[in-house]
Structure 1
Amino acid sequence: MATRHLYVVRHGAADAFGELTDVGRRQSELLGERLAALPIDTVWHSPLPRAVRCAQIVGERAGVAVREAAELVDHVPHVPDDIPPAWAGFFDGYDASEAAAGARIADALIARFARPADVETHEVLVTHAYPVAWLVRHALDAPPARWLGLSCGNTALTAIEYRVGLAPTLLVYNDMSHLPAELRWTGFGPGVRP
């Protein structure tokens, strides 16, 4: 039975202009070294510069082709009808057309990547925090609003497998073991980290 192995990552740490920082480049290099041990077929990336550069670095280290996938762009995948009070400020100003556009991108992401393949594949998706959360929520068959709060660190690895006739298998979520302590937990707000 063919398995689609997805290795989903948030891009490396970036500056306010969307370019990788020195930390982000180092995170990307270390991720690429980790993934080089796997039989990666393709590294897909969002069209945004921070994801493009991260994917290029990973592809160089892993020695594989790098391709763009518009579905991986940073977007809000779902706006709940009843917004939790803690998220009210985040959604302030979202209108119905923006919510619908985000939902269309989320549906396209799932349709393209969250399904079994005809042949065994190992694909890296370099994307952003919200699409990672949406793919994890989907793999767990959780309600749409559960993507909220599923944060992930820069270059943290999430692995999901898809097989015909079976529910998706979430193998790893937010794994930063390829990063030394000083490079972990970037992309998160302040707080205690394990």
Structure 2
Amino acid sequence: MAARTIYFVRHGAADAWGQLTEEGREQSRLIGQRLARLPIDVVWHSPLPRAVESAQIIANEMPRVFVDEAAEVVDHVPFVPDRQDLSPSWAGFFDGYDRSEADAGRRTADSLAARFGRPNARAQRPTHEVVVTHAYPIAWMIREALDAPPARWMSLAGVANTGLTVIEHTDGEPPGVVMVNDMSHLPEQLRWTGFAGGRPL
């Protein structure tokens, strides 16, 4: 079983209707240029328009790469903690979530981890896959790689637009988290710091 490297990328900056802004297109172009230096086999993307367009822009920077939708990487809340386990800062976020919604989100998260959270048993050579998705699925996959408790995804959800997270899977070894939310491909004006007063894209 060969090594599998997955490059998780949050989509570019989008407007209130979920469409990429000009900044988002430029962010996507720049991460595409960065990833084009690698032997990428496939670019997967969420079915949501902001991820679809980001993936297309990224793939345009690469020679003849396969691009396809992966329903598991759609934007979703992967785990809803019990009310008594929520901090005050998160309590309002989960207002209105019922058990059926929480269960549906967890099923999607489990499918995501099953598809992208382990080595590829059929691969005969090392593979390199880009997954263009959203902040919460990326946080869930980092949590999964670290084998952290389910609720820890919430502390990992501050992923910037086109921030790069890399996770390696090798048979017989725990997943390797190579980098998280790296933005070195972006100029300062296109980065989001996550700090108060920082540039929110």
The alignment's TM-score, normalised by the length of structure 1, stands at 0.95
The residue number in structure 1 matching 2:69 is: 68
RMSD: 1.4
Structure 1 residues without counterparts, runs of 5 or longer: none
Task: Please tell me the residue identity of whatever aligns with 1:48.
Answer: L
In structure 2, distance between residues paired with 1:128 and 1:181: 21
Alpha carbons of structure 1 residues 50 and 192: separation in structure 2 relative to 1, 3 Å: closer
The residue number in structure 1 matching 2:104 is: 101
- Cα deviation, residue 190, structure 1: 3.5
The number of residues matched between the two structures is: 192
CA offset digits 1:62-108 (Å, max 9, x no partner):
22111000000000000012222210000011000000000000000
The residue number in structure 2 matching 1:130 is: 136
- Cα deviation, residue 117, structure 1: 1.1
Identity percentage of aligned residues: 65
- Cα deviation, residue 54, structure 1: 0.1
In structure 1, distance between residues paired with 2:146 and 2:173: 12
Q: Does 1:183 align with 2:186?
A: no
Task: Please tell me the residue identity of whatever aligns with 2:4.
Answer: R
Q: Does 1:2 align with 2:5?
A: no
The residue number in structure 2 matching 1:173 is: 180
In structure 1, distance between residues paired with 2:112 and 2:54: 19
Q: Secondary structure at the match of 2:78?
A: coil
In structure 2, distance between residues paired with 1:80 and 1:62: 40
- Check whether the contact 2:192–2:198 (CA below 8 A) recurs between aligned residues: no
The residue number in structure 2 matching 1:41 is: 41
In structure 2, distance between residues paired with 1:90 and 1:84: 11
- Cα deviation, residue 3, structure 1: 0.6
In structure 2, distance between residues paired with 1:140 and 1:192: 28
CA offset digits 1:98-146 (Å, max 9, x no partner):
0000000000000011110132210000000000000000111111010
- Check whether the contact 2:73–2:137 (CA below 8 A) recurs between aligned residues: yes
Q: Which moved more, 1:11-20 or 1:77-86?
A: 77-86
Show structure 1 runs of 4+ deviating over 4 A: none
Structure 2 residues without counterparts, runs of 5 or longer: none
CA offset digits 1:144-188 (Å, max 9, x no partner):
0100021100000000000111100000000000000000017x4
State which of 151, 154, 165 in structure 2 corresponds to 1:158. Answer: 165
